[in-house]
Each structure stands twice: as C-alpha cells, then as structure tokens.
C-alpha cells in the first residue's frame, strides 16, 4: 500500500475529549494555512479543514458507536452479529470501517465489560452486551477481509477509575477471542506497574507473541532533557526512597523540581526560569476545587476553538496591537543606519501599512533566532542540539545584519540593550 493511502486509512482514537479537541483544532488551523499557501485563489475554510482532520482523529466513543450501529439487536446468546440490512459488505473492508490502522491512546483506560454493558443499556437501549471495550474494538477491525493493525499506547499504573479495564483486558481478549492475531509488545511490560506484573502469565500460552525492546518509550518526550526523570517518578511512586534520592541528584541540574504551596511563588519562579520564546503554564487536577478563589475554576470546560495560543503566528502579529511590526521597522532602520552612507537616504512605510503576509515572512526569522538562543546552554555546549548550534554558529555569531534586543528585568527598572555574539 502506498504511504499516502496508508495515512488516509489510519485513525487516532482517544477517550480524552480535551486532547482530541485541541489536536483537531491545531491541525485544522495548520491545514487551512497550508492549503491557502498552496492555492491562494481557492479559499480553503476552517470548517473544511476541521471536517478533514476529524476523519483521522476521533474520540473513541464515536468510533465505537459507528461499529455498534451495524450489529443486530437484541443481542442473543452473547454473540454479536452484523445486520446486513444496516450495512453493505465491502470487498476489502468487509463490514469494518475503512481504516486499516487504529491508534488507541491511553489504551489501559478502555472500559470493562460491565461498564460498557451498563452504559449501552442506559444510553442506547442495547441489553446484555457481552464484550469489554478492548475486545469490541478488536472485533470491529477483525471484520476486515484483508488486514488490520491496532496500536495501543499504554502507561503503567494509570488505571485511575474502577471502570477502566487496564492493559490485561487487551491481552485476555486476544487470548480468548483473537488468538490468530500477531502480538508485538515491549519487553518492559513485565514490570509490576503493567497489569500488576502478570503480562508473562497472560501470554505464556500464546505462540503469536513477539517481544520488542524498541516498543518501549524509555524517555518521555515531555521531559527529553532529563532521561532519568521517568525512573525517578517510578522510584518515588514505589516508595523506593534511596533510589529516588539518587536519581534526583543526577537530574536536578537539568530538570529542576521544586515544591511550594504558594501560587505566587510558583509563578515568580517560572518567570525567572523562562528563556527566550519559551512558554510556561500550570497543570491542575480536575478535582482541584480549592483553586476557585484564585480564579482557576476546573469546572469550566475549555473550547479549543477559542484557545488563542494554538496559532502562534496569528498571536505574534496581533500582540499589543501589532507592536511586532514596529520592531521590524526599527530593526530595519537600525541596520540601514549602520551601513548606508550619509549622502543616501531611505524612507520607510508606516508599520500600519505593511501587508500582514510580508510581516509574517519577517517574523519567521526572529522566531528561529529566538528559538535557537533559548536552546543554548553556554555552560554545557555539548548538550546543545546540533540544528540550533549550527544556526547559532553560522547565522548569528558575528552577523551585523541581525539585531538582537536584550531586555533585562531588574528589581527597580528594566533595561533595553542590543546583544551581540562574536568569536574570540
């Protein structure tokens, strides 16, 4: 199958509604931008982009309900059957959906048989449903006439609700109903936090199991600067105090961890640590009702369509009534004043008359520069990413065409100066 066709036949599923909303909106805005850049004459709308993105990112309940709409009801003798009156059989898809590949995020949080049966009985009037959510999702893709792949992204010890089946339910479903499926799992799943350490026992009689070390994400992408952070958290949750202390000492310089009960102190610390264009924020529990007096109401449901920071480009150009346009004009004036002879004169169009698309191209340059500077650790040059070091070394150092403003916040006043990097 061709790569582009495989992409079109892949779907990402998650039970996390806010995550799906934000991903969908971010990708839709990016899709709209790309399409309008490729074909400016055709106005590609955000509504079209959202519809396109929703074809491959869905809340898992919607995908499940589509498959449920095909079965015969009432269910008899605990066996699911397709109702030919509701759906036609396709030569390749069979009675399944069009996707060959389903990526299930946080798969350990899929529902148990009891939870799914109770919910379907109350909400959709489907009685005596016989399968757990993992088993039903495998069953849905098993309807294909050709092939299918399910990718389960799982985390250990994260079955936080009583209705969540955990990783073990996927394995039980494979053993009992789909023993002909090939199973590829990480060799790290035997740890106690995964299915309470029963992975080997659950799969000992399954000859289709293959263990692959490459399937384990050893370093969280959220904390790539501290490779041992996950090990530290693991030791801390396991009450292994000595190991947690040892790991903390090895990562505290690269990944500082602090504890406070003062929100003001936390905000001040974050502001002090921020470098360049880095962003910072606060993650709170959905149960943190006591934060309401601080104007943080966890009961409010965010609408991804109204989250302004998803599109950084629009935010930069509109920030403080387009002040970035003034910076571009001042920067150009400063450069020209350095290099143009006194007998030549150049004029400048007022910033408000600049076309937004022209400014966007200007903004990309300082955006890259700020991103590179924020990644520079001059005390430990070996740790600087190659792409940022190359950009810094070849394009920033000793470059008179780049004007970098340095804003330093002091206790009593702020100072503004230009920042230069030269080779010694």
Q: What is the pLDDT along the chain (424 residues), one digit of tens a residue?
A: 444 444 458 899 998 888 898 889 889 988 988 898 888 888 888 888 888 898 889 999 888 988 899 999 999 999 999 988 888 877 666 777 778 899 999 888 889 999 999 999 999 999 999 999 999 999 999 988 888 999 999 876 555 566 888 888 898 999 999 989 999 988 877 666 666 567 778 888 888 888 888 888 766 666 656 667 877 887 887 889 999 999 898 888 878 888 888 888 998 898 888 877 677 888 888 788 888 887 777 777 767 666 655 554 455 555 445 555 555 555 555 555 555 555 554 444 444 444 444 455 555 666 667 767 766 776 776 767 776 677 777 777 887 767 777 767 666 776 777 777 777 6
Model pTM above 0.85:
no
CB atoms under 10 Å from CB of 337, counted, come to 10
**Are the C-beta atoms of 126 and 69 separated by less than 8 Å?**
no
Distance in angstroms (rounded) separating the CA atoms of residues 97 and 368: 42
User: pLDDT at position 119, please?
Assistant: 92
Cα–Cα distance measured from residue 115 to residue 390, given in angstroms and rounded to the nearest whole number: 54
Distance CA 235, CA 225 (A): 19
SS (H, E, C) the chain: CCHHHHHHCEEEEECCHHHHHHHHHHHHHHHHHHHHHHCCCCCCCHHHHHHHHCCCEEEHHHHHHHHHCCECCCCECCECCECCCCCCCECCCECCCCCCEEEECCHHHCECHHHHHHHHHHHCCCCCCCCCHHHHHHHHHHCCCCCCEEEECCCCCCCCCCCECCHHHHHHHHHHHCCCCCEEECHHHHCCCCHHHCHHHHHCCCCCEEECHHHCCCCCHHHCCCCCHHHHHHHHHCCCHHHHHHHHHHHCCCCCCCCCCCHHHHHHHHHHHCCCCCCCCCCCCCCCHHHHHHCCCCCCCCCHHHCHHHCHHHHHHHCCCCHHHHHHHHHHHHHHHHHCCCCCCCCCCCHHHCCHHHHHHHHHHHHHHHHHHHCCCCCCHHHCCHHHHHHHHHHHCCCCCCCEEEEEECCCCEEEEEECCCCC
Q: How far from the centroid of its chain's Cα atoms is residue 191's Cα?
A: 26
Residue with tokens 């629009």: 314
Give the C-alpha distances (Å, rounded to integers) separating 403 from 375, 390, 414, 417.
Answer: 18, 18, 19, 10
- Give pLDDT, residue 217: 76
As a whole number of Å, the end-to-end CA separation of the chain is 55
Per the CB < 8 A criterion, the answer to whether 115 and 135 are in contact is: no
Residue 121 CA, distance from chain mean position: 34
- The whole-angstrom separation of Cα 328 and Cα 324 is 6
- The pLDDT assigned to 196 comes to 57
Q: What is the DSSP letter of 181?
A: S
219-275 pLDDT tens trace = 666 665 666 787 788 788 788 999 999 989 888 887 888 888 888 899 889 888 887
């Amino acid at each position: 199958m061709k790569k582009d066709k495989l992409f079109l036949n892949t779907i990402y599923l998650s039970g996390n509604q806010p995550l799906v909303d934000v991903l969908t909106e971010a990708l839709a805005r990016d899709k709209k931008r790309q399409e309008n850049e490729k074909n400016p004459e055709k106005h590609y709308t955000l509504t079209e982009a959202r519809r396109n993105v929703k074809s491959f990112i869905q809340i898992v309940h919607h995908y499940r309900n589509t498959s449920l709409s095909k079965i015969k009801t009432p269910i008899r003798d605990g066996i699911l059957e397709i109702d030919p009156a509701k759906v036609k059989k396709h030569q390749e898809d069979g009675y399944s959906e069009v996707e060959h590949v389903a990526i299930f995020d946080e798969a350990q949080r899929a529902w148990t048989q009891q939870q799914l049966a109770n919910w379907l009985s109350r909400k959709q009037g489907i009685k005596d449903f016989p399968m757990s959510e993992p088993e039903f999702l495998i069953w849905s893709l098993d309807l294909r006439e050709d092939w299918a792949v399910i990718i389960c992204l799982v985390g250990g010890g994260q079955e936080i609700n009583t209705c969540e089946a955990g990783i073990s339910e996927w394995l039980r479903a494979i053993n009992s109903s789909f023993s002909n499926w090939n199973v590829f799992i990480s060799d790290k799943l035997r740890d106690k936090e995964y299915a309470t350490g029963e992975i080997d026992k659950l799969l000992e009689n399954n000859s289709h199991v293959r263990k692959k070390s490459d399937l384990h994400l050893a370093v969280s992408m959220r904390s790539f600067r501290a490779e041992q952070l996950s090990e530290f958290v693991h030791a801390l949750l396991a009450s292994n105090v000595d190991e947690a202390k040892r790991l903390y000492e090895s990562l505290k310089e690269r990944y500082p961890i602090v504890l406070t009960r003062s929100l003001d102190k936390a905000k001040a610390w974050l502001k002090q640590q921020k470098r360049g264009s880095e962003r910072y924020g606060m993650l709170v529990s959905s149960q943190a009702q006591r934060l309401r007096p601080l104007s943080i109401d966890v009961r409010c449901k965010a609408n991804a369509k109204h989250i302004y920071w998803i599109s950084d480009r629009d935010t930069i150009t509109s920030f403080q009534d387009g002040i970035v346009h003034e910076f571009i004009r001042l920067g150009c004036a400063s450069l020209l004043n350095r290099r143009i002879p006194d007998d030549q004169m150049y004029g400048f169009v007022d910033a408000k008359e600049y076309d937004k698309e022209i400014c966007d191209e200007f903004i990309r340059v300082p955006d890259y520069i700020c991103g590179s500077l924020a990644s520079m650790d001059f005390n430990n040059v070996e740790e600087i990413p190659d792409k940022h070091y190359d950009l810094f070394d070849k394009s920033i150092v000793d470059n008179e065409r780049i004007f970098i403003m340095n804003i330093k916040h002091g206790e009593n006043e702020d100072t503004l100066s230009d920042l230069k990097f030269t080779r010694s």
